[in-house]
Amino acid sequence: MAYLDISDVGISFTRSGKTSEVLQGVSLGIEQGEYISIIGHSGCGKSTLLNIVAGLLKASTGGILLDGKEVNSPGPDRAVVFQNHSLLPWLTVRENVALAVDKVFRGRKSKAERRAWIDENLALVNMLHAADKRPAEISGGMKQRVGIARALAMEPKLLLLDEPFGALDALTRAHLQDQVMEIHARLGNTMLMITHDVDEAVLLSDRIVMMTNGPAATIGEVLPIPLERPRRRLELVEDAVYTHARAAVLEFLYARHAAPALAA
């Protein structure tokens, strides 16, 4: 069985007596250390799927196993990084990370060990220099880096990234993508990331999961990205494997599964 086993997951929501089926028959196995991206048109159910894996939503059908254990509530084995940092504004960068670390490691690591672990994770995303600053005093990209440090510091089995770079300008975004690739290479985390950005998906992923449009969205195709690592964006621009993968995702999204508004 796969490390993360998503099996026949479906979900429907009932609002004002009307039921809408958002996901249907979603099955996917992810191996330990894999970097998987989910791409699909707006509203198809990507965040819903991620929230089910996070344990924040309950599937109507099917189920999820992580490392052989059933997922049915949120837990520290699955850390989530959202598009908007979600740091507490009245706490410093270090205190924000400490909140998660204390929750996970209290009783297992001493206070000094926890402090060293927090700083190690801030250093991993090059944010140790701003440890005593508050979120309002740092840039959007820096806040995302703190969010990533906080997630990594929980030592999760699975890192869930919901459009983590979506709100950033192009240059900051590229810088953060490179940093996440480096961290992934160093730590070997298992990553599940939602993105709208085709280049980002191809650059970062081992496989790209392409979703069909809703209602009752499901996985249309899974595209392996057989590019060697480390990957360097400048070298990939003219790489045949890269351009082929990019074209395949674009073709899926804009020809075979165009958003209803685009297909009209």
Ligand X SMILES: Nc1ncnc2c1ncn2[C@@H]1O[C@H](COP(=O)(O)OP(=O)(O)OP(=O)(O)O)[C@@H](O)[C@H]1O
What is the nearest approach in angstroms of ligand X to the Cβ of residue 211?
7
Would you say 49 or 130 has its CB closer to ligand X? Answer: 49
Q: How many helices (H) and strands (E) does the chain have?
A: 9, 10
What is the nearest approach in angstroms of ligand X to the Cβ of residue 111?
39
Would you say 13 or 90 has its CB closer to ligand X? Answer: 13
**Rounded-to-integer distance, Cα 201 and Cα 35, Å:** 10
**Structure tokens belonging to residue 189:** 């985390």
Binding site for ligand X (CB under 6 A): 13, 15, 22, 40, 42-48, 214
With left for phi above 0 and alpha for psi between -120 and 50, is residue 122 left, alpha or beta? alpha
CB neighbours of 261 closer than 8 A, spacing ≥ 6?
none
What is the nearest approach in angstroms of ligand X to the Cβ of residue 205?
17
Residue type, 215: P
Q: Is the dihedral of CA 203, 178, 195, 46 positive or negative?
A: positive
Read off the DSSP letter of residue 137. G
What is the nearest approach in angstroms of ligand X to the Cβ of residue 257?
13
Would you say 76 or 260 has its CB closer to ligand X? Answer: 260
Name 15's bridge partners.
18
Would you say 43 or 140 has its CB closer to ligand X? Answer: 43
H or E element that contains 232: none
**Rounded-to-integer distance, Cα 149 and Cα 160, Å:** 13
Would you say 40 or 55 has its CB closer to ligand X? Answer: 40
What is the nearest approach in angstroms of ligand X to the Cβ of residue 22?
4
What is the nearest approach in angstroms of ligand X to the Cβ of residue 17?
13
3-class secondary structure, 258? coil
Would you say 92 or 213 has its CB closer to ligand X? Answer: 213
